[in-house]
Amino acid sequence: MSNDPWDEFPDSGFLRDSSGEPMGRLERRSDGSEWITDYSDNQLAGGYDPSSNQTWDAGGQLVGFGNLLASLLRR
């Protein structure tokens, strides 16, 4: 088993917590960006732009550098 939770569900794009409950859905777009949707309310939680190496929340605020999408769920 991998330490990266995305590796467990590469086809469906779901991130699950330690008890197996879905937390969010990852969408990889053709431009390389990644977006995450909170599973509980189906609302966009934020996005990651690999060209700038920045993660943004749904309100457009910079969260930080690197892919921090999982940190946006259940905030």
Check whether 11 has a pLDDT greater than 60. Answer: no
What's the Cα-to-Cα distance from 13 to each of 2, 52, 62, rounded to whole Å? 15, 22, 23
Return the residue matching tokens 């330690």: 18
Residue 2 pLDDT: 47
DSSP label at 32?
S
Question: What tens digit of pLDDT does each residue of 44-75 get?
Answer: 999 999 999 999 999 999 999 999 998 998 65
Asked if 55 and 47 count as a contact pair (C-beta separation under 8 A), the reply is yes
Question: What tens digit of pLDDT does each residue of 15-30 get?
Answer: 888 888 888 888 888 8
Check whether 32 has a pLDDT greater than 50. Answer: yes
